[in-house]
Chains A and B, each alone.
Chain A
């Protein structure tokens, strides 16, 4: 005999571990940062409430504005290169061949290298005195020195990021391409569609979702990039490769300006959230229009 059991709220207990983990890993640290950002902290016992003073100061900081501009330029450039390049690579990978797994593993190799090692590899690789890349470029008669020339440093940074992350886009795009039923390609062949038409009318519409994820991941990651440029150039020469996170670290750890650094962190966090939301909303909107 079964007894009727009314609904209870006991199931909420099951959510407790998740709530605790999220609280300790995200909410409490974030609140601490928010708390710091509105106070002037001299030592443990001496602190003053300053309101939005640090925010005002941070936003007015020309160094931060420059770092922000560099950051936007950096993220936009690597996205503009990595996404088309990743799709092109994915289209070039044979779908069902004996070498396909080998190609995929080789592609994944840069993704498996720790970020500071990537920085070190490129730091050595690009050195004009002993690095293979640096020496080779100079041997071609092109003067190249990334430690002294801001433009060279910038290009080296872009090359490093493209080397490191294009594989991710390529692998995601390949996963999307493999999911396209062969009949679509057969139909395109019978219709006499060109390779460009196949890309435009069959592949891109069906890659829409994986590409959204790829762009979001690359956008967030590139906005938070720290280790690699820190190892490669340390933000120099001058401030020419100082991106947002590096600027923040200099403030918080180098100068120990906790208040302004905390205010900056909050702004930084909101920026990333805003960028991702804007991007996601625009993608979802265009997808909905596509179905109207």
Chain B
């Protein structure tokens, strides 16, 4: 049973003629970690505000666990949110922050809070105030606050790693994944960072101004992009596209080989070393071709910049009107 359902949602800011979100459908399973991946301006933060109830959709319905919540306030929806930067009440201690939104009191809830505090390693700092904590600790505290409330059935994460220093990003990501595994709370994670989306989520939705282009598990998003944009946006660099017999053919940089007997005529522009695999130098090679720059990733021991060669496609996907129609 789906925990979260968005049915034909549209939203338009008051006074604006063009809708930010139009006829959007999304289903998230109970206990699922779901990522909304999109570039800035794709409407993903607006979608988050619609889910939390800070904004009301101009059309469509939002259903949580079978109950329509479209017109309910944020409080009545029993959601929690972790923001881009840690949002905590500064005059309260860590433990007061964590328990602030909990309305009932019972021994069970106390035990739950205690368990979360221990699990997230906040035991030693629970009496401190946010002003004395690092950004990483504050954000962990915000995560604990979201997890602690037993009423909460959905946690929204709005690019929660943005403000944390790079070294702590991986740690925070592990804490989030571990917490998700343990508590199995439904989480919707909004990000523009594909690594965060692909590593955190069980399913990823790629969102643009046109709506959600594809919802699929991370490997499917990477290996079978349903839309040209998905292929281009996910991966670094993204998918290569060439036109062949009236169709667009997309292939990842690692789905092709150089020095082919037949294939696309290319010239090696740059070659970047990325490491050694099985004794052979691997890297990323930028090629110029009649259809623009292309990328190849793989063994580079026989690659020289400035040389002409042919690029053979091992695996390609066919696209018509930007939609995938089959395998090459």
Given A189-B73, A192-B75, CB of A202 within 8 Å of CB of B52:
no
Contact size class for A? Answer: 10 to 19
Which residues 168-191 of A have a CB within 8 angstroms of B? Answer: 181, 183-184, 186-187, 189-191
Whether A190 and B132, one on each chain, are in contact in the complex, defined by CB atoms closer than 8 angstroms, is no
Q: Which residues of B contact A192 (CB under 8 A)?
A: 73-75, 101, 103
Whether A186 and B101, one on each chain, are in contact in the complex, defined by CB atoms closer than 8 angstroms, is no
Whether B81 and A187, one on each chain, are in contact in the complex, defined by CB atoms closer than 8 angstroms, is yes
B83 at the interface (CB under 8 A from A): yes
Which residues 197-244 of A have a CB within 8 angstroms of B? Answer: 201-202, 205-206
Whether B91 and A186, one on each chain, are in contact in the complex, defined by CB atoms closer than 8 angstroms, is no
Whether B74 and A189, one on each chain, are in contact in the complex, defined by CB atoms closer than 8 angstroms, is yes
B258 at the interface (CB under 8 A from A): no
Bound Cα distance A290, B132 (Å)? 10
Q: Which residues of A contact B79 (CB under 8 A)?
A: 190
Given A192-B101, A291-B129, CB of A183 within 8 Å of CB of B87:
yes
Which residues 28-55 of B have a CB within 8 angstroms of A? Answer: 49, 52-54
* Interface residues in B, total, Cβ within 8 A: 24
Q: Residue among B75, B79, B92, B132 with the most chain A CB within 10 A?
A: B75
Q: Which residues of A contact B101 (CB under 8 A)?
A: 190-192
Whether B85 and A183, one on each chain, are in contact in the complex, defined by CB atoms closer than 8 angstroms, is yes
Taking the nearest CB of chain A, how far is it from the CB of B15, in angstroms? 10
Bound Cα distance A78, B209 (Å)? 54
Q: Which residues of B contact A205 (CB under 8 A)?
A: 89-91
Q: Residue among A181, A183, A190 with the most chain B CB within 10 A?
A: A190
Whether A291 and B81, one on each chain, are in contact in the complex, defined by CB atoms closer than 8 angstroms, is no
Whether A201 and B89, one on each chain, are in contact in the complex, defined by CB atoms closer than 8 angstroms, is yes
Q: Residue among B90, B103, B132 with the most chain A CB within 10 A?
A: B90
Whether A290 and B87, one on each chain, are in contact in the complex, defined by CB atoms closer than 8 angstroms, is no
Q: Which residues of A contact B81 (CB under 8 A)?
A: 186-187, 190
Q: Which residues of A contact B84 (CB under 8 A)?
A: 183
6 shortest A-B CB distances, which residue pairs? A192-B75, A191-B101, A201-B89, A187-B87, A190-B74, A183-B83
| 11 A-B residue pairs with CB within 8 Å | A183-B84, A186-B81, A189-B75, A191-B100, A192-B74, A193-B100, A201-B89, A201-B91, A201-B92, A290-B129, A291-B132
B binding-site residues for A, Cβ under 8 Å: 49, 52-54, 73-75, 79-81, 83-85, 87, 89-92, 100-101, 103, 129, 131-132
16 further contact pairs, Cβ within 8 A, besides A181-B85, A190-B52, A201-B91: A183-B83, A184-B87, A186-B49, A186-B54, A186-B81, A189-B75, A190-B54, A190-B74, A190-B79, A190-B81, A191-B101, A192-B103, A202-B89, A205-B89, A206-B90, A291-B131
